[in-house]
Structure 1
Amino acid sequence: MFHDKEQFKKSFSRRLEQTSGVSFANSTLQHQYQTLGMMVREYVSSNWIVSNEDTRKGDHKEVYYLSIEFLLGRLLVSSLVNLGVKDLVEDGLKELGIELGNLEEAEADAGLGNGGLGRLAACFLDSMASLTLPGHGHGIRYKHGLFEQKIIDGYQVELPEQWLRNGNVWEVRKPDLAIEIPFWGDVQWIEKNGKLTYVHEHAETVLAVPYDMPVIGYDTDRVNTLRLWGAEPAKNFPSHKDFMQYKRDTEQISEFLYPNDMSNDGKILRLKQQYFLVRASLQSIIREYKQHHSDLFSFHEHIAIHINDTHPALAIPELMRILIDEEKMKWEQAWTIVTNTISYTNHTILSEALEKWSIDLFKPLLPRIFMIIEEINKRFCKELWQEYPGDWDRIAHMAIIAHGFVKMAHLSIVGSHSVNGVAKLHTEILKMREMKNFHEYYPEKFNNKTNGITHRRWLLQSNPELTASINNTIGTAWIAEPERLRELAAFSDDSSFKLEIENMKQLKKKELAKLIFERDGLVVDEHSIFDVQIKRLHAYKRQLMNVLHIMHLYNRMKEDSSFKPHPRTFIFGAKAAPGYEYAKKVIKLVHSVANIVNNDPVSKDYLKVVFLENYRVSLAEKIIPATNVSEQISTASKEASGTGNMKFMMNGAITIGTMDGANVEMRDLVGHENISIFGLEAEEVMHYERYGGYHSHDYYHNDRRIKQVVDQLTSGFFRDSYYDFEAISDSLLMENDQYFVLKDFSSYVDAQEQVAAAYKDRERWLKMSILNIAHSGFFSSDRTVNEYAKEIWNVKAK
């Protein structure tokens, strides 16, 4: 189908008419997209089958990556890029009167994730396949994803994300491989042949139906699998329950990503999702394993299971349940297999964000799993008592079950052989502070694996113009070995290469400006600094500080007619969790500031504020290549790593950021002169948090700029939002500014002035840009996944 252009055109035209039932002339974009997607899936199907069968028959070790999120984005163009047929297909379609870009727009972003956690999982899948590692993903097939964001009068409104409205051409439903998942009920035990056997009775059972999607490697025959589980009613539904209610309760399990957990019903639904994922996944993994192995005694030698944060942590007691209850192993033998099979990535430093479940909810829903966790906890606490006799405080702090809660991070650490952070700073904070007791007890378990991104999507696919410039300058070897981008450093003073980079960036800014006008009717200056902050909206990420700085620039212009800042377009993109009212207020504040700044004759030619609605992967692919300044301004010590910072860097943006997460390693690579660092460092933040001494009122009263912008939040300055921003003002003053916005404000203003000055020096700015691109290869997910494969999973390329 894809061997030459003429063959492709014939196959495409014929297949379109056969599958859509309409003539080629009357076909729609959706018909055309579905046809091409189907052709790609069929094209890789033989390699898909061979990849899986060869690995299992050959007794190679496989890794299974369990994650509650996989933020895939669109798959059509990335599949064509990885198969090496994009140019052929694009030319063939053009001769048929079809633009590939239009087909790309017909594809919905897969609604399977929210932020960095899910995008990391997607990048890892791409890297595993491209490195020919036998590695597969397991997740949930959410019907609606998180939500579709609409902005009405500046307020976020959530609508169902209908990504499956036209089906999913990439998936294959496999109902014959469905697995039953039990909830509720009772656990009885009986003694048989001198052994206790546990039986789960009166359970409410649901069906987990697998949908498989191919994961296509770049320039390789390797095709791995992403298996997503959809919840459906089981044949034997509970007789005591109304069927329609049972059906609704069942389908809710895979209906939405992150259901609102403000109520007990929401918490139970989240817990259901987590057990649904791990039980279905483990049963599936073991079923396939048993096709080539007679028992599970060497399971850990052939299978690695990685849990992406604590959402799949129930894989630990579930695997214990299988080995003890179904395989009749002794506890010690089963525990050895479990801990040698499972590894865990921690993604958060915020102690309040570490998952824990009330026993009152957990125990009735998952009675047998709770029993196993109780036993794990009892044995672990006994070990701790032997190591720290009489130290009840330490034991209580480390216990898996304590004070009425099951602590999932503690379960994940105790039940795995590897615990990794996702940036050097993050890992050190885990070892020295958040998980200090565990690190002292299990020093050999803790390690760092700095996050990465797939350069195939975030450079080759999203920025073909920059890719072409790089190829023409240093060749194409960097695509297979991304750290060879370092060779670009030799061209950082080359005037012709600088001009290419400048022209590329200007082209991308022009394209983004056109998109902004089409979406919002707003005209932005293509020659202004494109200053971008796109990420999940959270107080610690400090979108608020960015907005307060814009307000400060506006105030300066109003007060001093001689002050004319370099024109700057501030671009935001973010979703606030539906129950996170503070974050929603910040979104409203962005729009209120935009309403003033964009329309005032004094400022409108110098400052523009843009909020791009419904931020997602496909939108990021258009924003990131056009960005000049990348805002990575989280409170130091709060961001585990960040991956957006890496995508911007790879596309030549200059980072303004704190010494947080992977920003630290970026600074070390590019040098302090090629990144703009400001604000408190992690140790200073943690010192304030532990010992006090920070008083936000001091900064409010002693810095006129701060007092002015904070007062404007509640003074009636925003006539459309008189009472909207009291909560924001209170967070800064009444609640003592938990994330040190006011403390870092002056330093941030200075850094922004330095960025503006550097931008005016075009030769200097372009050199900085080239050096950022040159050092970005380290942040390829290929490097990260190679480290996981060698140092954690012990998995080799096939």
Structure 2
Amino acid sequence: MVCKGHGDVRRPWGFQRVTDDSVTVEAEVVALRQAVLNKLMYEVGGRDERASPRDWFLAATLAVRDRIVDRWRASNDEAAAQGHKQVCYLSMEFLIGRLLSDALGNLGLTDTMRQALDGLGVELEETFAQEPDAALGNGGLGRLAACFMESMASIGVPAIGYGIRYEHGLFRQLIQDGRQREVPEDWLSLGNPWEFERAGIGYDIGFGGYVTADGDARMVWHPGETVRAIAYDTPVVGWRGQWVNTLRLWSARATDPLHLDAFNSGDHVGAQANRVRAEAISRVLYPGDESAAGQELRLRQEYFFASASLHDLIRRHLRLHGDILTLAEKTSVQLNDTHPAIGVAELMRLLVDVHGLDWEQAWEISRATFSYTNHTLMPEALESWPVPLMERLLPRNMQIIYLINARHLEAARAHGATDTQLSAISLIDEQHGRRVRMGHLAFAGSHKINGVSALHTGLMKTTVFAELDRALPGRICNKTNGITFRRWLMRANPALTRLIVDTIGPRVLDDAERLADLAPHARDAAFQQAFARQRRTAKEHLAKVVRERIGVTLNPDALFDVQIKRIHEYKRQLLNILHTVALYNAMRARPMAPWAPQVKIFAGKAAPSYHQAKLIIRLANDVSRVINSDPTVRGLLQVAFLPNYNVTLAESIIPAADLSEQISTAGLEASGTGNMKFALNGAITIGTLDGANVEISERVGLENIFIFGLKAHQAGPMRRDGFDARAVVEASPDLGAVLDAISNGVFSPEEPDRYRGLVEGLLAHDHFLVTADFDSYVAAQRQVMGRWARPVEWWRSAVLNTANVAWFSSDRTIREYADEVWDLPVR
């Protein structure tokens, strides 16, 4: 195969089948063009002379989908015929982004489709732009799930991803007067051409009711309410189109009919109350849980999709293999965080109550089937549910959890565990109002528990799961996260991809390890210049996006300093903002200094009920407004907060970034994957030794990354014991001036007290060590600008970042899961 690329930074990269027979190539173009026209006429119901851009998107997508279906069926047939073990990946989020460019690239049809549409007077890039981002996730956890699904298909791991088909996803973020405003994300309002509704695949999921024992002392659950789970399938195409897996999402349907008498009598709301309650399950990702009703809906969502998925995988197993006793031999279920952890109790219910296994048999099968990925070291972020809520909503599951816990504690007591140790490992937290610890349930019910970076995994053993690791040793392992290079290099940055292929050859497209061949070119002046040119082009494109979205005109010759991720205090966007103000103060105080232009770019959403995070968003926007309108800095410093961060926006930002902000409080970021995407595209990281930053620094070299701040073993005791933030501020005149300016309303003159509480809170209890790391961060930023002033050194480091991060491919991560967790051979 020969690779064909395009210099346009926005043209997605895709390998292209080329033969010596140009007639064959033209025939493929003509055939695809006709397929698009047929779809336009017979399925979209349009005419080419009057078709809208949306019509062309639908027609192109349906034509491509047809080509996927045969491969999809062949993959399923081969897996069934060979008796392959299947991975079932359970996740509340799948942040898959746009699919058309991904599918074309992996099928090798990008150029063919471009030529086919060109002949119809349609631009492929405009067609791509018609596709909404699937609103099925929020941040790193959901994007990781999407990368893993693509990698499993690319390396031939038979897999099915299970989640929820959210009608509105998380929310669409608007910024109005600097504030975040949440509105529905109506990504399904015009339909989704990628999905197949499987009306014949549905399961009744129960809630509430009561439990009785039948004549054989078997427990029988009598739900008070049932909700129907209907499957929607989306094909997931692997690289070169050689394997296609399935993403199966569940939509909630009411089983109660419309109460027509009540409706006709005028009670239009009451007649549909049960329907609304049932279908709310698949309306919104992460409904607000400040209220009791919000908590109940969140738990209903988690049980709904976990139960439907387990029903489904058992049905498939029995159809293919016949014997429920072989379930663990043919199926591996990966729990992506604690959201699907209720599945541990649900599988036990199905095996014992429905399929008649005795407890010990069922527990052995269940534990061998499940493995659990932990994504947080913060105890408050590990899910737990009030026992009364669980007893009311899931009475039989709660009985099973009690029994699992009793046997779990009995075994630990037999091995000499103390009362204190028993309390720490109990699935029921008795200290905080009696709550079910879902992380503990997942741990006890899984044969493997993995962290997502080397540092995170080590800290799991000494912090959140220390006692469980002692009681159930040998289960914790590490699987450092990865990203799919097809999406985050080839599609997101085709100009860099072309440069790489032209320099070291096309084999790198199939073997990421070949990126290492770039290292000898890092000192080559001509290659550095080419590397810098493609970055400049990407920055011009991003500048256009920024201008269109928020009306700010960026200088593409400036250093682009980027922090894009979920807004959370531990991720420390606040630290970045404080540095921005300090830099602003310095530029005004020393106007004749040789300042290099710098652009600070922020993007990310805050949870609707996370008021402190939303206040940080407002501060970022207030600082942006003041700095961008101040003529004294003469465009040397600009700030941009881009609303509604999603996969598509990330694909514009990441190739344009010079500096990657990965500045979380040490010991709190499990891994991160944004850090990997930036490094792959040649951005240099500024960060703490947290999460996967540690492993990135080991691979790219400490001389090619900017590390600052407290380390995890230092930060932990300071967070636990506290420290005197006021004394730190008093010792740092720059920080004191920054906090005074923010507190006194320099950036909020219309409301001078707007940020006084934020500053006072920081001084009283700086839980995330913002003040403690400020001076070290500022010093690292000075090093950044010193390196930027020496272009030869800067571009050498940038090239070496790209050359040395092949290990962070999600293909590598999946191979490790397959070998060490799922016991599954891969090709």
TM interval, short-chain normalised: over 0.9
> Which sits farther off after the overlay, 95-104 or 747-756?
95-104
Q: Select the residue among 370, 377, 395 that pairs with 2:405.
A: 377
Q: 1:554-573, aligned counterparts within 5 Å?
A: 554-573=584-603
More displaced, 516-525 or 677-686? 516-525
Alignment of 1:180-219 (within 5 A): 180-192=204-216, 196-219=217-240
Residue 365 (structure 2) pairs with residue 337 (structure 1): yes
2:480: which partner in 1?
A: 450
Describe the SS at the equivalent of 1:175. Answer: strand
| Residues 527-550 of structure 1: per-residue CA shift (max 9 Å, x gap) | 000110000000000000111111
* Amino acid in structure 1 at the alignment position of 2:823: N
Residue in structure 2 matching 1:367, options 392, 395, 408: 395
Q: Does 1:702 align with 2:741?
A: no
Say if 2:683 and 2:801, in contact at 8 Å, map to a contact too: yes
Amino acid at match of 1:185: G
Q: Are 1:324 and 2:352 matched, yes or no?
A: yes
The match for 1:228 among 246, 249, 252 is 249
The answer on whether the counterparts of 2:161 and 2:248 sit within 8 Å (CA) in structure 1 is yes
Residue of structure 1 in register with 2:799 after alignment: 770
Partner Cα separation in structure 1 for residue 338 and residue 75 of structure 2: 30
Contact map agreement 1:61 1:304 (CA 8 A) in 2: yes
User: 1:46 offset after TM fit, Å?
Assistant: 1.4
SS of residue matched to 1:746: helix
1:419 alignment partner, SS class: strand
Contact (CA 8 Å) 1:306, 1:344: kept in 2 or not?
A: yes
Match of 1:292 among 313, 320, 329: 320
Q: Does 1:32 align with 2:56?
A: yes
* Larger deviation, residues 179-188 vs 439-448: 439-448
Q: What amino acid does structure 2 have at the position aligned with 1:227?
A: R
CA contact (8 A) 2:259 2:272 kept: no
Query: Residue type of the partner of 1:716?
Result: G
Measured on the aligned residues, the alpha-carbon RMSD in Å equals: 1.6
Q: Distance in 1 between matches of 2:103 and 2:599?
A: 33
Post-superposition offset of 1:720: 3.2
Q: Do structure 1's residue 122 and structure 2's residue 146 form an aligned pair?
A: yes
Q: How does 1:131-146 map to 2 (within 5 A)?
A: 131-146=155-170
Offset, 1:202: 4.6
Question: 1:242: how far off?
Answer: 4.6
Alpha-carbon distance in structure 2 between the residues aligned to 1:117 and 1:138 = 14
- After superposition, what is the alpha-carbon deviation per residue over 1:360-385, rounded to whole angstroms, capped at 9, x for unaligned? 11110000000000100010010111
Equivalences for 1:523-538 in 2 at 5 Å? 523-538=553-568
Structure 1 alignment gaps of length 5 or more: none
Q: Which residue of 1 aligns with 2:191?
A: 167
Matched, 1:725 2:762: no
Residue 523 (structure 1) shift: 1.2
Q: In the aligned structure 1, how far is the partner of 2:535 from the partner of 2:591? A: 31
Contact 1:204 1:238 in 2 (8 A): no
Identify which range, 765-774 or 6-15, moves more after superposition.
6-15
CA distance, structure 2, for counterparts of residue 731 and residue 621 of structure 1:
36
Secondary structure of 1:656's counterpart equals strand
Are the aligned partners of 2:207 and 2:223 in contact in 1 as well (CA < 8 Å)?
no
- The residue type paired with residue 74 of structure 1 is R
| Deviation of 1:56 (Å) | 2.0
How far did residue 320 of structure 1 move?
Answer: 0.5
**Contact kept in structure 2, 1:598 and 1:604, CA below 8 Å:** no
The answer on whether the counterparts of 2:669 and 2:691 sit within 8 Å (CA) in structure 1 is: yes
Question: Are the structure 2 counterparts of residues 569 and 202 from structure 1 closer, same or farther at C-alpha, using a change threshold of 3 Å?
Answer: closer
**How far off is 1:235 after superposition?**
4.7
SS of residue matched to 2:414: helix
Question: Are 2:258 and 2:272, in contact at CA under 8 Å, matched by a contact in 1?
Answer: no
Equivalent residues of 1:532, 1:572 under 8 A apart: yes
Whole-angstrom CA distance in 1 between matches of 2:682 and 2:770: 27
The within-5 A match list for 1:388-537 is 388-389=416-417, 391-403=418-430, 404-537=434-567
Q: Is the 2:688–2:710 Cα contact (8 Å) retained in structure 1?
A: yes
1:682-761 alignment runs, 5 A limit: 682-692=712-722, 694-717=723-746, 718-734=748-764, 736-761=765-790
Query: Quick one: structure 1 residues 548 and 772, their matched pair in 2 at CA, closer, same or farther if it must change by over 3 Å?
Result: same
Aligned 8 A contact 2:457 2:478 in 1:
yes
Letter in 2 for 1:701: E
- What letter is aligned with 1:35? A
Aligned-pair distance for 1:238?
Answer: 11
Q: Distance in 1 between matches of 2:279 and 2:713?
A: 46
Summarize deviations over 1:699-726 as a string: whole Å, max 9, x none: 1212111111111222121203423213
**Superimposed CA distance per residue, residues 431-467 of structure 1 (whole angstroms, 9 cap, x where no aligned partner):** 1222111122222101000000000000000111100
**How far, CA to CA, are the matches of 1:635 and 1:613 in structure 2?**
24
CA contact (8 A) 1:656 1:677 kept: yes
Which residue does 2:106 correspond to in 1? 82
Percent identical pairs in the alignment equals: 42
Q: 1:652 to 1:34 in 2, by over 3 A?
A: same
Pairing 1:302–2:330 present: yes
Is 1:42 the equivalent of 2:66?
yes
Structure 2 letter corresponding to 1:399 = S
- What is the match of residue 20 of structure 2? none
**Deviation (angstroms), 1:506:** 0.5
Alignment of 1:669-684 (within 5 A): 669-684=699-714
Q: CA contact under 8 A between 2:484 and 2:811: conserved in structure 1?
A: yes
Whether the 8 Å contact between 2:207 and 2:226 is mirrored in structure 1 is: yes
Partners of 1:731 and 1:738 within 8 A in 2:
no
Counterpart of 1:157 in 2: which secondary structure?
strand
Q: Which residue of the other structure, out of 604, 607, 621, is the alignment partner of 1:574? A: 604
Secondary structure at the counterpart of residue 135 of structure 2: coil
Q: Could you tell me which amino acid in structure 2 is paired with residue 456 of structure 1?
A: R
Asked if the contact 1:204/1:237 (under 8 Å) is kept, the reply is no
In 1, Cα distance between equivalents of 2:472 and 2:356: 29
2:129 match: secondary structure: helix
Q: Rate the CA distance shift 1:95–1:474 in 2: closer, same or farther, 3 A.
A: same
What is the alpha-carbon distance in structure 1 between the residues aligned to residue 614 and residue 463 of structure 2? 31
Deviations 1:381-417 (A, max 9, x none): 101111125x101101110013111000000110000
Deviations 1:549-587 (A, max 9, x none): 110111112222323421001110010110001011111
What amino acid sits opposite 1:463 in the alignment? Answer: N
1:790 aligns with 2:814: no
Output one character per residue of 1:91-140: Cα deviation in whole Å (capped at 9) or x when no partner. Answer: 22123211111111100000000000000000000000000110110000
Tell me if structure 1 keeps the 8 A contact 2:719–2:768: no
For the pair 1:102 / 2:108, whether they are aligned, the reply is no
Quote how far apart the aligned CAs of 1:691 are. 4.2
State which of 672, 676, 684 in structure 2 corresponds to 1:654.
684
- Structure 2 match to 1:347: 375
Structure 2, gaps ≥5 residues long? 1-23, 263-268
CA shift, 1:477, in A, is 1.7
In structure 2, give the amino acid aligned to 1:395.
L
How big is each residue's C-alpha offset from its partner over 1:10-33, in whole Å with a ceiling of 9 and x where there is no partner? Answer: 221232122232320100011100
What is the DSSP-based 3-state SS (H/G/I as helix, E as strand, rest coil) of the residue aligned with 2:322?
coil
Cα deviation digits, residues 211-245 of structure 1 (max 9, x gap) = 00000011142110000000011157999995411
2:630 maps to 1:606: no
The residue type equivalent to 2:607 in the other structure is: A
**CA distance in structure 2 between the partners assigned to 1:382 and 1:307 by the alignment:** 26
User: Do 1:67 and 1:307's aligned partners in 2 also have CA atoms closer than 8 Å?
Assistant: yes
CA distance, structure 1, for counterparts of residue 150 and residue 463 of structure 2:
33
**Partner amino acid, structure 1, of 2:678:** F
